[in-house]
């Protein structure tokens, strides 16, 4: 990772059509299910960010053959299960990677030690370890289940588990463990979260039952289901598309189109919210790709108005609040974001870092334990600062987008971390006309 900063300077309109990088959630899952399955899995459009490359490396450590065949094109030969790695598995910055792999690994009689970078070592793993332990897995590690930790799997019992927080990672870990648990598993989900694991398990031949009882999802997976390799076309990541699209909304005169964006309704809360704020955001050419709806999303510069974001929308846009807060900084009036306590346990405490970063840029922000309010004045924020990102890719990209329409340039530290989720971010934004330079 480079130590130098990166600076975005306000300038002329952004114009053009770009492709969103592959979806991070689906890329992790394609690697993990491809390794768990028997036979060949081919993947196109894989996100080749650091997080997913760590998962690819981990899958090799568990015994799968994983090869890159061309840009975004990968081939896996799965063995129908995991074998014991001969070394520590380092998942880098990736919470999704480590939590899903722990779930998958728990189903096998093996012992494995996981670690990650400083950010990942500070994040809670207890939320995954608790249900896995109830199924019979054991672990040994630091206080409250922080990495590094050693997990011992095998001989799992079935479990009915009600998610204590809205987390697709926890849901997915239990489902993946459930593939090898006696009696299978049922996950009860009071708030629907992204359903990529359920969809992809089906694509690999498993039967997943989903029942909606009064708005509560019951997801059942019976034991002993064999997965068979398949082809996965990874759609564009709406969480990454959010950055050029919000840039298009706030830089005067802009028109930006991002093609091939996944439109799964459990991921598009940001688009609905921006439209409620008055954004000229249109979706065209909607089509199906590998079972997911995708479309081309166009953002034109718009006068935005603050809104109250419904808290129940949070799971469908949990990674997008930092960039929404940037849009809110340009809006007229308050944007109220509540019910987002989960933001505090992401790659950084994203509520605290957005509040600090926006305030440094001259924006009035009120922080709450589980939310924050951005007081927009309808004028461009002052900018003119270096923002600390705590190595969080989305905090860095959000402030760089802000700098494109602020009164003065905004710099961020640790821009190298952007490559965890959006490796071509700088080039893509420059291609639209954004002024991004080393700082
Ligand atoms: C993800 C789920 C979300 C999200 C993360 C990706 C996934 O995390 O923030 O970037 O792929 O399942 P939580 O499940 O912890 O909310």
Count of alpha carbons within 13 Å of 328, Cβ hemisphere only? 29
Asked, as a colleague might, if the bond just before 148 is cis with ω within 30 of 0, I would say yes
Name the residue of 28, 30, 55, 95 to mutate for ligand 1: max ligand atoms within 8 A of Cβ: 95
- 351-375 as b/e, with b when 16 or more CB fall inside 10 Å? bebbbbbbebbbbebeeeeebbbbb
Radius of gyration of the chain (CA): 21
Q: Which is nearest to 292 in space by CA: 241, 210, 234, 206?
A: 234
Q: What is the pLDDT of residues 203-250, one digit of tens each?
A: 999 999 999 999 999 999 998 899 999 999 999 999 999 999 999 999
Residue owning the nearest CA to atom 16 of ligand 1: 167
Dihedral angle at the C-alpha atoms of 316, 318, 322, 325, nearest 10 degrees? 50
Name the residue of 21, 23, 25, 189 to mutate for ligand 1: max ligand atoms within 8 A of Cβ: 25
The H or E element that residue 316 is part of is: none
The pLDDT assigned to 2 comes to 46
Residue owning the nearest CA to atom 13 of ligand 1: 167
Kindly list the distances between the CA atom of residue 33 and the CA atoms of 26, 67, 196, 201, in Å, as whole numbers in the listed order. 10, 15, 11, 8
Question: Hey, how many other C-beta atoms are within 10 angstroms of the C-beta on 334?
Answer: 16
Catalytic-labelled residue, pool 319, 334, 392, 413: 319
| Ligand 1 midpoint to CA 203 (Å) | 20
Question: Hey, how many other C-beta atoms are within 10 angstroms of the C-beta on 66?
Answer: 22
The pLDDT assigned to 290 comes to 81
Kindly list the distances between the CA atom of residue 320 and the CA atoms of 96, 223, 237, 327, in Å, as whole numbers in the listed order. 16, 35, 12, 11
Read off φ and ψ for residue 27, nearest 5 degrees.
-65, -45
Ligand 1 atom with minimal separation from the 28 CA = 11
Dihedral angle at the C-alpha atoms of 348, 100, 115, 357, nearest 10 degrees? -10
pLDDT tops 50 at residue 295: yes
Q: Is 319 a catalytic residue?
A: yes
The pLDDT assigned to 1 comes to 42
Token digits of residue 151: 């997990």
Inter-residue contact 412 to 387 (CB < 8 Å): yes
The pLDDT assigned to 143 comes to 77
Strands 435-438 and 6-9: antiparallel
The pLDDT assigned to 144 comes to 81
Distance of alpha carbon 50 from alpha carbon 421, whole angstroms? 7
User: Ligand 1: which residues within 6 Å by Cβ?
Assistant: 25, 96, 167-169, 172, 194, 318-319, 342
pLDDT tops 50 at residue 26: yes
The pLDDT assigned to 78 comes to 97
- What's the CA angle centered on 10, arms 4 and 15, to 5 degrees? 105
Over residues 323-340, the mean pLDDT reads 98
- 11-29 as b/e, with b when 16 or more CB fall inside 10 Å? eeebeeebbbbbbbbbbbb
Residue owning the nearest CA to atom 5 of ligand 1: 96
Band of pLDDT at residue 426, cut at 50, 70 and 90: very high
The pLDDT assigned to 199 comes to 96
Ligand 1 atom with minimal separation from the 127 CA = 15
- What's the CA angle centered on 168, arms 165 and 174, to 5 degrees? 90
- 254-291 as b/e, with b when 16 or more CB fall inside 10 Å? bbbbbbbbbbbeebbbbbbbbeebbbbbebeeeeeebe
Inter-residue contact 237 to 425 (CB < 8 Å): no
Contacts of 358 (CB under 8 A, 6+ apart): 325, 326, 329, 365, 374, 381, 402
**Whole-model pTM over 0.95:** yes
Kindly list the distances between the CA atom of residue 382 and the CA atoms of 102, 111, 385, 394, 413, in Å, as whole numbers in the listed order. 44, 53, 9, 21, 19
pLDDT tops 70 at residue 69: yes
Inter-residue contact 320 to 239 (CB < 8 Å): yes
Q: What is the DSSP letter of 275?
A: H
Report the DSSP beta bridge partners of residue 219: 187, 210
Band of pLDDT at residue 55, cut at 50, 70 and 90: very high
Contacts of 108 (CB under 8 A, 6+ apart): 81, 82, 83, 84, 153, 154, 180
Token digits of residue 249: 């909304």
Strands 89-90 and 111-115: parallel
The pLDDT assigned to 4 comes to 84
Over residues 51-66, the mean pLDDT reads 98
Q: Which is nearest to 346 in space by CA: 363, 321, 327, 329?
A: 321
Count of alpha carbons within 13 Å of 86, Cβ hemisphere only? 2
Q: What is the pLDDT of residues 161-173, one digit of tens each?
A: 999 999 999 999 9
Distance of alpha carbon 263 from alpha carbon 124, whole angstroms? 29
Full set of structural domains in the chain with CATH: 6-22+236-438 (3.65.10.10), 24-233 (3.65.10.10)
Over residues 346-375, the mean pLDDT reads 98
Over residues 140-160, the mean pLDDT reads 95
| Ligand 1 midpoint to CA 294 (Å) | 20
- 388-416 as b/e, with b when 16 or more CB fall inside 10 Å? bbbbbbbbbbbbbbbbbbbeebbbbbbbb
Q: What is the pLDDT of residues 30-54, one digit of tens each?
A: 999 999 999 999 999 999 999 999 9
Instruction: Classify residue 205 by burial, with Cβ atoms within 10 Å: 0-12, 13-18, 19+.
Output: middle
């Amino acid at each position: 990772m480079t130590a130098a900063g990166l600076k975005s300077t306000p300038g002329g309109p952004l114009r053009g059509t770009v492709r969103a990088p592959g979806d991070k959630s689906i890329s992790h899952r394609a690697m993990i299910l491809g390794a768990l399955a028997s036979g060949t899995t081919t993947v196109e459009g894989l996100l080749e960010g650091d997080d997913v490359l760590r998962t690819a490396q981990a899958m090799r450590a568990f015994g799968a053959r994983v090869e890159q065949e061309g840009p975004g094109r990968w081939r896996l030969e799965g063995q129908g299960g995991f074998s014991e790695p001969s070394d520590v598995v380092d998942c880098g910055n990736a919470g999704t990677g480590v939590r899903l792999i722990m779930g998958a690994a728990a189903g096998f009689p093996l012992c494995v030690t996981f670690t990650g970078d400083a950010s990942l070592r500070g994040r809670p793993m207890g939320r995954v370890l608790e249900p896995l332990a109830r199924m019979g897995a054991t672990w040994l590690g630091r206080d409250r289940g922080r990495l590094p930790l050693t997990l011992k799997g095998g001989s799992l019992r079935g479990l009915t588990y009600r998610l204590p927080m809205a987390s697709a990672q926890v849901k997915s870990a239990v489902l993946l463990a459930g593939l090898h648990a006696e009696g299978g598993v049922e996950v009860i989900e009071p708030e629907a979260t992204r359903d990529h694991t359920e969809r992809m398990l089906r694509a690999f031949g498993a039967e997943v039952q989903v029942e909606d009882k009064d708005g509560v999802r019951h997801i059942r997976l019976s034991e002993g289901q064999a997965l068979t390799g398949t082809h996965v076309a990874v759609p564009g990541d709406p969480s990454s598309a959010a950055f050029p699209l919000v840039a298009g909304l706030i830089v005067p005169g802009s028109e930006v189109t991002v093609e091939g964006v996944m439109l799964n309704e459990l991921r598009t809360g940001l688009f609905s919210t921006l439209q409620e704020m008055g954004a000229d955001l249109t979706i065209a050419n909607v089509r199906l790709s590998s079972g997911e709806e995708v479309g081309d999303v166009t953002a034109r510069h718009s006068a935005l108005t603050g809104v109250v974001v419904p808290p129940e929308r949070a799971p469908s846009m949990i990674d997008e609040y930092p960039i929404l807060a940037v849009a809110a900084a340009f809006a007229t009036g308050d944007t109220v974001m509540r019910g987002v306590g989960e933001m505090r346990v992401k790659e950084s405490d994203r509520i605290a870092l957005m509040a600090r970063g926006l305030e440094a840029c001259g924006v009035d922000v009120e922080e709450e334990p589980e939310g924050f309010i951005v007081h927009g004045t309808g004028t461009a924020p002052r900018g003119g600062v270096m923002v600390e990102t705590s190595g969080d890719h989305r905090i860095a990209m959000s402030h760089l987008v802000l700098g494109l329409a602020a009164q003065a340039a905004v710099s961020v530290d640790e821009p190298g971390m952007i490559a965890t989720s959006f490796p071509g971010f700088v080039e893509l934004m420059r291609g639209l006309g954004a002024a991004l330079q080393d700082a």
